[in-house]
Copies of this chain bind each other. A is one copy, B any other.
Amino acid sequence: MKTRRIHRAAATPSVHRIVEDIIGCKWSLAVLAQVRAGVLRPGALEQAIPGISAKVLNERLKKLTRYGILERTSYAEIPPRVEYRLSAFGAQLGAILDQITALELQRTRQ
């Protein structure tokens, strides 16, 4: 039974501020890339991102959820199960980040 979904706090920073923060943070980008690729649980995320600690992963998941990029769903099971999914806003932001990466590739080829 799906029980709780944490929504983003009212005082979410501006999208400009979010991009400024995310684009310069390799761990945020790595977590976002993995969730976009379908890796939804913290344990699996920690396995999928070489070098990330549980502490840093947890901080980034909290931040991405607070920004409204990810949605957290916890299931009242034994043991409790938590999953993170991309929100609609997260999907739009991801598409913009993809364009920045594409522009990067294009520029390095010039």
Contacts and interface: CB of A to CB of B under 8 A. Distances in A.
A interface, by DSSP: helix, strand, loop or mixed?
helix
A96 interface: yes
Nearest to A12: B107
Interface stretch (A36-44, A46-54, A78-86, A98-106): A98-106
Find the residue from A14, A15, A17, A107 having the highest chain B CB count within 10 A.
A15
A20 B24 contact: yes
Interface of A: 12, 14-17, 19-20, 23-24, 68, 89, 92-93, 96, 99-101, 103-104, 107
A15 B96 contact: no
A92 B101 CA distance: 12
Contacts of A16: 23-24, 100-101, 104
